[in-house]
Amino acid sequence: MSVAPSLHDNTRSCANYAPTIWGNMFLPYASGSEEVEDYNMEHKVQKEKLKIFLSSNDLCLSQKLNFIDWIQRLGVAYHFQHEIEEALTEIDNIYTSNNHLIMHDEDHNNLHSLALVFRLLRQHGYPISSDAFERFKDVEGKFNNEKQTDEDDVEGMLALYEASQLEVHGEKTLEEALHFSYTHLESLIDNNQLSPSLKARVSHCLSQPLHKRLSRVEARHYLSFYQHQKDPSQNHITLLNFAKMDFNMLQQLHQKELGHLTKWWTESELTRKIPYARDRLVEAYFWPLGISYEPQFSTTRMVATKLVCIICLLDDTYDIYGTLEELELFTEAIHRWDISPIESLPECMKVVFEAILQVCNEMEMVTEKEGTSNFVMPHVKQAFINLAEAYLMEAKWCNEKYVPSFEEYKDNGVVSSTCPLQMTSVLGLLGNLATKEVFDWISSNPKIFRAFSLIGRLMDDMATHKFEQERDHVASGVECCMKQYGVSEEDAYKIISDDIKNCWKDINEECLNNPYNIPKSVLECVVNMARDSEVVYENLQDRFTNGDSLKNYIVQLLLNPITIEP
């Protein structure tokens, strides 16, 4: 069978991707040559102090709720999971009845306290009804829209906006609360009715709510806000210093990981061997870092980053380089897990296939040590096969100039988003969290998998479709939506945005109901995958491909440590 010309044949597509902006900047961290701080002893002492404080019976409800919220925002909740669960169980027992919030004393019966209780309980899987917010409606059944601007009222409105992000399908009250709080807060900004510091907080919240932010990114931002608290107590100072130390300790670990990954990437010479593909190692690391940043998941991040890099090579091979005839053979090779069908293809395509085998072999070695290989690796390999088939389908659509219906596109797009493969692999690398029950749940094709995958696919499409349509490329979700509904590009964006909102409701619903009793840590990883997409494709940008637009996050999280006052 004849194949297409060589790598340098100018008849092939070319995306003209910019080179990496990072080079080998992180390579020195692999040898540990960078000077690092040792906070271990002080870190442990402060951690124990905070545990005692959090478990104290002397704290009133509002103090305990706010402290839990601060701990979570500062990215150190993983140190206090037991204490947080105990506190929330106690709060749930005292303040709820038949899953309805009953605030017994007037002091706590305000919008801020109620919204905070609701959000924290829902975040942790307690099925709290949103009916409690009915008390803040007027006689006409509408939320009170008086333009109050003192700080307490704004704090309450911010809390309501954040709480309403946890809505599930059919919750009209939360839907109304979301619209009301957003409109109210936006009007305060537009009318310059807020102090500069409060305006900055409101703008930050409205640009992207807490529920859709990555914990590591939010922690870096919130540290700067938290240290400017008025008259902080000793426990606040302890929490702030502990969070700063923790951030820096984790940053040093993440730097070392990225240093070793840079060494691997450089030695592989994949950039030279596959010059048409994107060189995005550092941006690839951002994805698993967003999913699980804690120290115990170091191996997960390392292997998952290699996987993302290899997926990128695969994506660009189907999207840019291969002819349809070549891609059919390539897909057959992945189906058979055997290189023989592509022996006649260009060398670069064989390199991509071998890279897939290598990263899967590494995953297999890791999972064999955990005793989970027998049920993890079949799922991973099948996910690779599914992805190749989805990519091939898009290549055929492109070759035939076929624009599928929006629904047809989404069915294929769930897989071509790469999210199912990424998440299946990450969950398989989570050590004792990678159980057969979790993978049986994955086999059931849970609604949450389709939801976070569609968020990734559709946000990617809105960010990249104009650039991609400049060359020969498959129709994106935007074009498919415009065709199916006969609408303008602007209206297609609105339809897709509504789809994404509904996907978030699906995610919230699955986390709240949790019919398979999946561990919360696993569900949090799944939700973080959706948050990754929200950050990477925020404001219609493709921050993965265009590394400059992700640079600020990379610098904050992986290069600049937090200053700790002596």
> What CATH number is given to the structural domain containing 339?
1.10.600.10
pLDDT band per the 50, 70, 90 thresholds, residue 1: very low
Question: Tell me, what's the pLDDT at 471?
Answer: 60
Other Cβ atoms within 10 Å of 344 Cβ, number:
12
Average confidence (pLDDT) over 549-559:
97
Is there a single domain that holds both residue 518 and residue 405? yes
Is there a single domain that holds both residue 90 and residue 222? yes
Lowest mean per-residue pLDDT among 126-140, 225-239, 410-424, 480-494 = 225-239
Highest mean pLDDT among 31-40, 94-103, 135-144, 234-243: 234-243
Count of domains in the chain?
A: 2
Question: Tell me, what's the pLDDT at 370?
Answer: 95
Task: Report how far Cα 310 is from the mean position of its chain's Cα atoms.
Answer: 19
Is there a single domain that holds both residue 320 and residue 398? yes
Average confidence (pLDDT) over 89-104:
75
* Parent domain of 491: 294-543
Average confidence (pLDDT) over 196-220:
94
Amino acid identity of 85?
Answer: E
Is there a single domain that holds both residue 307 and residue 227? no
Question: Tell me, what's the pLDDT at 515?
Answer: 87
Angle at 235 (CA atoms; ends 231, 236), nearest 5 degrees: 50
pLDDT band per the 50, 70, 90 thresholds, residue 7: very low
Cα separation of 108 and 124, whole Å? Answer: 20
Question: Tell me, what's the pLDDT at 193?
Answer: 80
In this structure, is residue 283 part of a structural domain? Answer: no
Cα separation of 561 and 351, whole Å? Answer: 38
Question: Tell me, what's the pLDDT at 6?
Answer: 44
Q: Which pairs from 54-61 meet CB under 8 Å and 24+ separation?
A: 54/80, 54/83, 54/84, 54/87, 55/83, 55/86, 55/87, 61/91, 61/94, 61/95, 61/108, 61/113, 61/117
Is there a single domain that holds both residue 215 and residue 302? no
214 close to 531: Cβ distance less than 8 angstroms:
yes
56 close to 205: Cβ distance less than 8 angstroms:
no
Is pLDDT at 105 greater than 90 in this prediction? no
Question: Tell me, what's the pLDDT at 146?
Answer: 57
Cα separation of 230 and 334, whole Å? Answer: 60
What is the greatest pairwise CA distance in the chain?
80
Percent of the chain with pLDDT over 90: 77
Is there a single domain that holds both residue 302 and residue 201? no
In this structure, is residue 128 part of a structural domain? Answer: yes
Is pLDDT at 462 greater than 90 in this prediction? yes
Is pLDDT at 2 greater than 50 in this prediction? no
In this structure, is residue 308 part of a structural domain? Answer: yes
In this structure, is residue 552 part of a structural domain? Answer: no
pLDDT band per the 50, 70, 90 thresholds, residue 500: very high
Is pLDDT at 9 greater than 70 in this prediction? no
Domain edge (last residue) among 233, 253, 275: 233
Average confidence (pLDDT) over 137-154:
70
Average confidence (pLDDT) over 528-546:
96
Is there a single domain that holds both residue 363 and residue 469? yes
Lowest mean per-residue pLDDT among 91-100, 236-245, 265-274, 337-346 = 91-100
In this structure, is residue 273 part of a structural domain? Answer: no
Average confidence (pLDDT) over 508-520:
94
Question: Tell me, what's the pLDDT at 108?
Answer: 52
Question: Tell me, what's the pLDDT at 11?
Answer: 60
pLDDT tens digits for 41-86?
999 999 999 999 999 888 887 888 899 999 999 999 999 999 999 9
Question: Tell me, what's the pLDDT at 145?
Answer: 59
Average confidence (pLDDT) over 160-178:
96
Is there a single domain that holds both residue 222 and residue 306? no
Is there a single domain that holds both residue 480 and residue 349? yes
In this structure, is residue 265 part of a structural domain? Answer: no
Question: Tell me, what's the pLDDT at 109?
Answer: 59
Question: Tell me, what's the pLDDT at 485?
Answer: 96
Average confidence (pLDDT) over 209-218:
96
CB-based contacts of 12, cutoff 8 Å, min separation 6: 4, 5, 276, 320, 321, 323
pLDDT tens digits for 325-349?
999 999 999 999 999 999 999 999 9
Is there a single domain that holds both residue 446 and residue 304? yes
CATH number of the CATH domain containing 124: 1.50.10.130
In this structure, is residue 284 part of a structural domain? Answer: no
Is pLDDT at 38 greater than 80 in this prediction? no
Lowest mean per-residue pLDDT among 146-150, 356-360, 508-512 = 146-150
Is there a single domain that holds both residue 119 and residue 219? yes
527: nearest Cα among 244, 157, 124, 138: 124
Cα separation of 561 and 540, whole Å? Answer: 29
Is there a single domain that holds both residue 372 and residue 504? yes
In this structure, is residue 25 part of a structural domain? Answer: no
Lowest mean per-residue pLDDT among 148-162, 333-347, 497-511 = 148-162
148 close to 156: Cβ distance less than 8 angstroms:
no
Is pLDDT at 3 greater than 70 in this prediction? no
Question: Tell me, what's the pLDDT at 400?
Answer: 94
* DSSP letter assigned to residue 20: P
Helices (H), 371-405: 373-400
Domain edge (last residue) among 233, 250, 271: 233
